Each structure stands twice: as C-alpha cells, then as structure tokens.
Structure 1
Amino acid sequence: MFRTAWVVLTLAVGLSSRAAAQTGRLFIQHVAVVDVIAGQLLPDMTVEIRGRTIAAMRSDRPFRVTRGATVIDGRGKYLIPGLWDMHVHLSFPAGAAQIFLPVMVANGILGARDMHSFLSPVISLKHAVASGAQVGPRLFVAGTAVDGPNSYLPGARVVRTPDEAKEAVRELKAAGVDFIKVYSSLPRDLYLAVASEAKNEGIPFVGHVPYPVTAAEASDAGQRSLEHLTEVDVGTSSDEAAIKAEEVEAMNQKRGSIPDPNRLKSTFDSAKAAALFERFRRNNTWQVPTLVVLYQERQIADSTLRGNDSLLVYIPKLLRDYWRSLPIDIAAKIVALYAFHAELIGPLNRAGVPMLAGSDSPNPYVYPGFSLHDELGLLVRAGLTPAEALRTATINPAGFLGLTDSLGTVAQGKVADLVLLDANPLSDIANTKRIRAVIQGGRLLKRSALDTMLARARARAAAGGN
C-alpha cells in the first residue's frame, strides 16, 4: 500500500523440492465440515480424498476404508477450505519467496494474489509453485504495476502516452500475468487507455484508484478490485473534489498522498457513501480492505512496541532494519486512517459489496501467512460475522478468480485444498490460527511437517534470506 516496495531488491528464485504427492486414499472421519456459504457446520462427516480430489463426503454411514489408506480421526476438529491471501508482494527483499511461501502454506494459505513484483522472477515463481519445484500456495500474479511518469513506486512499469499504456497491457499479458495492476500516479488518460486495452485483451485490471480518478469512475471503468479502500475513503467525503486536487498536486511532485483521517471523518457524507457502495454492488467492484497493513503501523507509531514482536524471526534482518527506520509521524497518521477505514466495512458489507481478504505483506510488521489471520480478525472487529470473514478468504477468492467449480468450499469433486482446525472458526475467527493439519492438493501435511517448515523458514530468515 503506502510503503510497499520501498526496499526493492531482485528476487532470487531458488527452488526447494516439494514432497511427492500423496498416493492412495485419505479419510478424515467424524469431522465437522464448515459450510462457508451457509455459515453452518456439517457435523460428524467422513471425507474421502483420492489423489488431488475430494472423492466423497458422507454422514449417514461410514466408508469402507481401503487397505493402506491414511485415516485421520476428526473428532473435535473442523475442516475448512484452504485460505487465500489476495494481496501480497513476493519480490521484496531478495530470497523472500523461499521464506514466505512455505510460511504461508504452514498458515493454511493455499492461494495468493501477488500485486506487484518484478515480472520475470514472479512468473518463474508461479510456474515453480505450479510444477511442485517450490513449496507455496497457488499464485495469481500481476507482474509489475503500471504507473505514470511521476511514479514513486520502485519497479513500476512507467508509461507516458496512451499508446505506451496499451502496449504495457499487451506485453504484460503476453508475459503470462493474470491481471493488470494500476497504481496511484497514473494520469487519467493513461488509466482509461489501460482500461480500454484490458477489455480488448480480455484480461482483468485491478489495483489502486489513481489520484486523478475517483472511485466511482474506476468502478464504472470496469476495475475489478480496488485495494486498501484508497480513494473509496475519499469518495465518501463531501470534500472529495478538493482532496482529489491536493492528491494530484502531490502526484505532480512525485509524492504519495495520505488523506487526513480527521478531515475524512468530519466531511463524511452518508448519502454519498451509500450511492458509491451501491455503484460498487451494481458493477461487481470487489474491495480488498487490507486493514492489517494500516493497523500494524502502530508498531512504528508506538515506540514501546518496536522489536517486541515474536514473528520478527520470520523476517530477514535487512527488512527488519528497514521497518525500524521508518518515521513515527507518518505511521501515526496511518493508524488513524485505519480507524476510519474500519468504520466503512460494516456499511460496505450491508450494501452487498463483495470483499476479499488480503494482508499486503510484507509491508511493515505485516507477516506473510500469519497476518492473513489477523486481517480476518480485524474484519470481524469491523462488523463482519466470522462466517462472512471466512468467506472473504475462501469462497470469495474462488468466485473472483472464476474457480468455484474446483475451489472455495469443502465439497465432493473439488480440489482437496483443506485446513483442519482444532476449534470452530464460526464461533471465533481466531480459531483459523489453530491449525492441526493442511491438505494441499490432496497431500497431507501434519502438524509436525508444518512445524518443520516454519523452523526452516526461521533459519533462512536468520541467514538473511540466503
């Protein structure tokens, strides 16, 4: 979001071997299956997995367990679909992917959307994960974000004319990206050129709402997802035109712009907000709030919290040192903005605006894998039910990506991307952290295997990511 990619280093795509896919059958007996669509439990179920697929589910009578099958006693356990983090960055710093991707799997995250990385390395990384050469969640990637000549984003694909903007869309698609990401400093005419060419090429475009464009205009232009509620917040203000003018002026000086949370609160226009949210619903414009990236700025704003986080062991020293160097004044403003954004979640949800869970890791104190669970907790604190929050990381990503035929729920015929929990996430969303086992594409990873993955990640982080 605001601080992504300030430290920009080349991604070293070293490939680690993945264990062979499980052979034979796997049975999970007497487990409570979480129906994420209905928000209900299916008690005392037996789930049969053959190869990569959920072959059968039954509660009325037991399966005949075949010789040599693996059997898990699911009594007291809860089975959910694999989780998704729909906003991550994997290129920063060097060697990050080899630490972060296994940590994500150990946290039950089996799908992720990379929202700005160096193009060639992230495409290679996507293929390495798909082939099994690199442990990690399935990846959907944007490659490099498209931005304008006054870009302040390191590594951006800078375009200066409508023709260059259209060429960027075509070249990124040809390189194998799954969508085009636009960034904050993209001039209005270049933004519209990207939108037009993306439509012509049949590829979605997502990302920030650029400073010269309103959130309503982005929705009408067909932008598939809006990240971080940036410009959505400004769009609820009666002072939107003046704020946008100030943002454009900052853009012209190659600076980012963070709106004043007090100004947004004092000028909040409920009728304007309702109309904007209805537009999002009508246009099927998805929101990725990434509340956690704002919330975690308190670790910078409050000096008593610095260096006290046990999860720092998963972060290479270079990145830790960078986090600790960041100024307190900007962090305090971002923390205040978190409170305003959190107040928008309930109204967005009640208006029927579709939402996706994303962490924006590894921004300051936003930890790959772990912080997705924190995002779910913040969404609940902001007004979602646990079931609604769980949907933002399961069935909603599958729907956004057009994968509901194979992913997003625990159901017969779907890919066996599953997480076995020790406690009910529908009663407390924090229970998504209580992971007993992960099943990735039918391959069982017991708690001991997940702990080994985490230990190796800590060791790699301690070695600087090498």
Structure 2
Amino acid sequence: MTSQRYATIILFLLFMSSTALTQSLKPILFKGATLIDGWNNVALTNTNVVIRGKSISLAGKAYSNIPPDGASVIDVSGKYIIPGLIDVHAQYRTVEDLKMMFLMGVTTANIIVSSPEQRREVERLQRDDSANIPELMVMYTMPMAQSSVEEDDRSAIDSLLRKLPRTEAEARAHIANMKENGINHVLLKYDDLQWCGDSQHHEEQVDTMALTVFMKEAKRQRLLVSIQTPKLRNAEVMLEVGAFSIVHGILDERLSSAVVSRMGSNNVYYVPTLTFFEYLANGPSIVQRLLGDSLFRRALPQATMMEYAAPQFRSGFYSTCTNNAYASDHLEIIYDNASAVIKDYIPVPVGSNLPTLPGIAYHIELENLVKAGLTPMQAILSASVFSSEYLGLRDKVGFVHLKFEADFLVLDKNPLEDIRNTTSISMIVKNGVLYDVQSLRENYRK
C-alpha cells in the first residue's frame, strides 16, 4: 500500500466517525486530481476542488497551493474527479438496491413510479436524510387514454395521473394542479408491450389533438413529459405532437435519417436502455461478463458477487418480461438506432431500468453506449450534463464547478482510457457530504 493511500486513510480517520462525514461548516479541499466534466470538456490536470457546505466554491487548475482558511485538505493527486452519475430511468425493488446504486456512484436517480404505494415509499425515502442512497427524483407513469376505472377514494395525485385532459383550458388547470401536488415529470406509455411478452395489453387509441394540447401546455408550465414508444410509426406520431424525449429506445425498425433529423431539430432526448435489452435477450451472458470483470469484482461487496454467482440467481433472472426472443432478434436494430442518434449528436441521457443489477447496470450501460459510438468523454457528459438537463437539474448538478451542488466521484483510474474505470470509486461526495466507498461497501447491508 502506498504512502499516499495511508495518508488518505489517516485523513478519513481524523474527520470521519461513521460511513459519512457530517456536513462540515469548514471547507474541504480536494487537491491535485485530474478534473473531467462538461464545463471544460477536457481533462484538467492538477486541480483544486473546494466544497463549502453543500456547494462547490472552487474548481479548476491549482494555481495556488495555499488552502482556504481552516480547510481540511485531502490529497487526491493521481486520482480523477467526475460528476456524480445520474440515472434518468431507474427502478428498484428494495432499499438495498438504492444503497447499491449509491455505492456504484449514482448520486441522483429518477425513479419510475407506477402505483400509489410505490409513490408513498419514494416520498418517505426522499425525506430520509440518513440513508446512503441517491437523491431521488420521481417520474410518474400516466395512461395515454381516458381511464375506465370508476372514481374512488384515491388521492388527488393518483386521480391526476389517471387521464389526459382534452381541452386547452382543462390542460392548463390539470397541469397547474399537477405542479401544485409536486408532480414534475410524467411517463406516457404508447406501448402494447408485445416486445415484453404481454399478450393481454392492447395499444391504446391516442387522441392526438388532446395530446398536442397537453404537450404544449406541459412545456409552458415546465412539466417534463417522457414518452415510451418502442414502435417507429408511433414514435413519429409522438414527434408530431411535440415529444420532449423518447425513452426505452425504438425497437422494431431502424430510424430513418428524416426521423433522426426531426429529433435533432426538436431537441429531443433519446434514452436507449441498451443494457436492459441485452439482459432480456441473454441475462446469463451479462452476469458472466460481470463475474469475469476484475473491475467489478473489486468494486462490489464480496457477498454481492457470491449472490450473482449462485446457480439460483443465474437460473431465475428477475424480469417482468418473458419474450426473450424479441429482444434477441431485435438487438442489432436497438444498437443501430442508438448509434444513429449518437452520430447525429442527439443527446443521450443514461438510464439503466434494470433493478436486478442496481447501479451495476448503469456502468454496463456506459460501456454499451461507448460500444454504440460514444467516446468515453461523451459517455461521461451523457451521464452528467445531458442527464441533468433531461431532468431539469442543469443549474444544480452535472458539473463540478463553482456554485453547483457538491456531487462528484473520486476515481482511482482514468475513465478516459477505459470507461469501465468509472467503477474505480474511492470517494463519493453527495450534497456536500463525503462518503468513503470502502466503508459503504462494508456496511451496505447493515
């Protein structure tokens, strides 16, 4: 073990009494790292990053070696700082899944909520500052068509999510009511789920006029509306009505240059969730790849690796989808479509959508996006800048820069040489609080 590693451990012992350092009023200087983020678009060597409270007060070249008055100094020479990872399309099963996401560097997660019970649980977790989990955002699922369910005693929020308004006046009042009730992001599913193996679900008839009115008013009131529409012909309709983003990719046909061009001119985001479909096509190969990767073996708790290696895990993959053949037959198209939008510089936020491999799937997704055509630098921008933009958080997170929230990772290895090095996390800073990853790893199930 190097003297530098010993020095880092001593510093942790001096000001850490548990997994996380209580937010300090004193500044903390991270000295000497290479800074990689979207503000500079290049790697800056020998930098100083200073956090005060929850915010970054300095980030840039170390022109002075004099620390701020009273600052704690952490020598991170030879290491790399990148923004905290943002998962824009996440699911989880238990709080342990959220802890694993955080352990793997996901500092913000946009959770897909599809039931009142799940919504209430996420709201409870959002209020729990003691949990070592990502900052949670919520994306509420919403039907394309009017609900046929009779009115009942559901909450105001659940009632708002059951139907689309039909007129401009209704849309104005409906969305204002949504915003007042804390709904800032909804997911519209124009999807018969045949790719998933759901033979009971039928494609809803869409009132394009009502949807156009809703999308226009949503944009005016800054309600984010993501659309899951895996069929190309339906995606074209969604682009016509003003879609802000297409999530879960286009699966059935290759994107034409005209559609890609339309996406670019409309500033549409494209979230392909490549790893989800690879997993659906061949889950065992994904897990074999994980078990054979020395970087993942070092990053994950030993108990987690043993769980993934167990025959019962590998023979009973968790998925609500059963149509493995569809994903396998269409995987080339799914990748080609991701490559097409990447070549045309369509922003590609990063979403995992795979609760079976929480946090881990995110890093595999970064690797798959590089396989689809992103450079490692572009993949980091997708994980930070484009993901924060997509969630409406660009003024808060996604950059390691003055006045932004202190959300970043300290890596032992250079992610620009190999994107898999995003797993080499030694420290996490979230909301100005410093976490030692080794302690998180040891305590993640306690």
TM-score range, shorter-chain basis?
Answer: 0.7 to 0.9
1:132 is matched with 129
Tell me whether 39-48 or 201-210 shows the greater mean CA deviation. 201-210
* Correspondences of 1:121-200 after superposition (within 5 Å): 121-122=118-119, 125-126=122-123, 128-129=125-126, 132-148=129-145, 159=163, 162=166, 172-183=178-189, 184-185=191-192, 187-190=204-207, 192-200=209-217
Question: Is the contact between residue 112 and residue 140 of structure 2 (CA under 8 Å) also seen in structure 1?
Answer: yes
Question: Is the contact between residue 187 and residue 212 of structure 1 (CA under 8 Å) also seen in structure 2?
Answer: no
Question: Is the contact between residue 300 and residue 327 of structure 1 (CA under 8 Å) also seen in structure 2?
Answer: no
RMSD: 3.8
Which of 80, 84, 97 is the equivalent residue of 1:100?
Answer: 97
Alpha-carbon deviation of 1:311? 4.8
Give, as a single letter, the amino acid of the residue that structure 2 aligns with 1:290. Answer: T
For 2:134 and 2:233, how far apart are their aligned partners in 1?
33
Question: Is the contact between residue 198 and residue 205 of structure 1 (CA under 8 Å) also seen in structure 2?
Answer: yes
* Correspondences of 1:66-465 after superposition (within 5 Å): 66-67=69-70, 69-90=71-92, 93=93, 96=94, 98-119=95-116, 121-122=118-119, 125-126=122-123, 128-129=125-126, 132-148=129-145, 159=163, 162=166, 172-183=178-189, 184-185=191-192, 187-190=204-207, 192-201=209-218, 202=221, 203-209=223-229, 214-230=234-250, 233-234=252-253, 236=255, 273-300=256-283, 311=305, 313=307, 323=317, 330-362=323-355, 365=356, 367-456=357-446
Shift in CA distance, 122/325, structure 1 to aligned 2, threshold 3 Å: closer
**CA deviation digits over 1:165-210, x for unaligned, max 9?**
9698676545322212111146343465244234325212112127
For 1:346 and 1:307, how far apart are their aligned partners in 2?
24
2:6 is matched with none
For 1:218 and 1:174, how far apart are their aligned partners in 2?
26
Question: Is the contact between residue 229 and residue 287 of structure 1 (CA under 8 Å) also seen in structure 2?
Answer: yes
**CA deviation digits over 1:320-367, x for unaligned, max 9?**
886368887x213313322221122232112121111101122xx4x1
Alpha-carbon deviation of 1:442? 1.1
For 1:443 and 1:292, how far apart are their aligned partners in 2?
30
Which of 59, 63, 75 is the equivalent residue of 1:60?
Answer: 63
Which of 20, 27, 51 is the equivalent residue of 2:53?
Answer: 51
Shift in CA distance, 35/435, structure 1 to aligned 2, threshold 3 Å: same
Shift in CA distance, 192/302, structure 1 to aligned 2, threshold 3 Å: farther
**CA deviation digits over 1:282-341, x for unaligned, max 9?**
0011100100001112444779969979557489x999886368887x213313322221
Alpha-carbon deviation of 1:40? 1.8
For 1:356 and 1:325, how far apart are their aligned partners in 2?
23
Question: Is the contact between residue 349 and residue 384 of structure 1 (CA under 8 Å) also seen in structure 2?
Answer: yes
Q: What's the TM-score once normalised by structure 2's chain length?
A: 0.76
Shift in CA distance, 195/449, structure 1 to aligned 2, threshold 3 Å: farther
1:35 is matched with 37
For 1:99 and 1:159, how far apart are their aligned partners in 2?
33
Structure 1 unaligned segments of length 5 or more: list them. 1-16, 237-272, 457-466
Structure 2 unaligned segments of length 5 or more: list them. 1-18, 149-157, 193-202, 293-303
SS in structure 2 at match of 1:296: helix
Alpha-carbon deviation of 1:19? 6.7
Count of residues in correspondence between the two structures: 389
Shift in CA distance, 75/182, structure 1 to aligned 2, threshold 3 Å: same
Give, as a single letter, the amino acid of the residue that structure 2 aligns with 1:356. Answer: P
Alpha-carbon deviation of 1:372? 0.5
For 1:398 and 1:29, how far apart are their aligned partners in 2?
26
Question: Is the contact between residue 278 and residue 331 of structure 2 (CA under 8 Å) also seen in structure 1?
Answer: yes
For 2:146 and 2:307, how far apart are their aligned partners in 1?
38
Shift in CA distance, 314/305, structure 1 to aligned 2, threshold 3 Å: closer
Give, as a single letter, the amino acid of the residue that structure 1 aligns with 2:226. Answer: V
User: Percent of aligned positions with the same letter in both sequences?
Assistant: 24
Give, as a single letter, the amino acid of the residue that structure 2 aligns with 1:34. Answer: I
Shift in CA distance, 306/403, structure 1 to aligned 2, threshold 3 Å: closer
For 1:301 and 1:99, how far apart are their aligned partners in 2?
22
2:195 is matched with none
Question: Is the contact between residue 250 and residue 337 of structure 2 (CA under 8 Å) also seen in structure 1?
Answer: no
Alpha-carbon deviation of 1:109? 0.7
Question: Is the contact between residue 123 and residue 143 of structure 1 (CA under 8 Å) also seen in structure 2?
Answer: no
Alpha-carbon deviation of 1:147? 4.5
Question: Is the contact between residue 30 and residue 45 of structure 1 (CA under 8 Å) also seen in structure 2?
Answer: yes
SS in structure 2 at match of 1:115: strand
For 2:319 and 2:370, how far apart are their aligned partners in 1?
31
For 1:54 and 1:378, how far apart are their aligned partners in 2?
31
Alpha-carbon deviation of 1:81? 0.6
Alpha-carbon deviation of 1:441? 1.0
Shift in CA distance, 296/105, structure 1 to aligned 2, threshold 3 Å: same
Shift in CA distance, 326/65, structure 1 to aligned 2, threshold 3 Å: closer
Question: Is the contact between residue 145 and residue 205 of structure 2 (CA under 8 Å) also seen in structure 1?
Answer: no
For 2:226 and 2:242, how far apart are their aligned partners in 1?
9
Give, as a single letter, the amino acid of the residue that structure 2 aligns with 1:234. Answer: E
Give, as a single letter, the amino acid of the residue that structure 2 aligns with 1:349. Answer: I
For 1:300 and 1:440, how far apart are their aligned partners in 2?
32
Shift in CA distance, 182/322, structure 1 to aligned 2, threshold 3 Å: farther
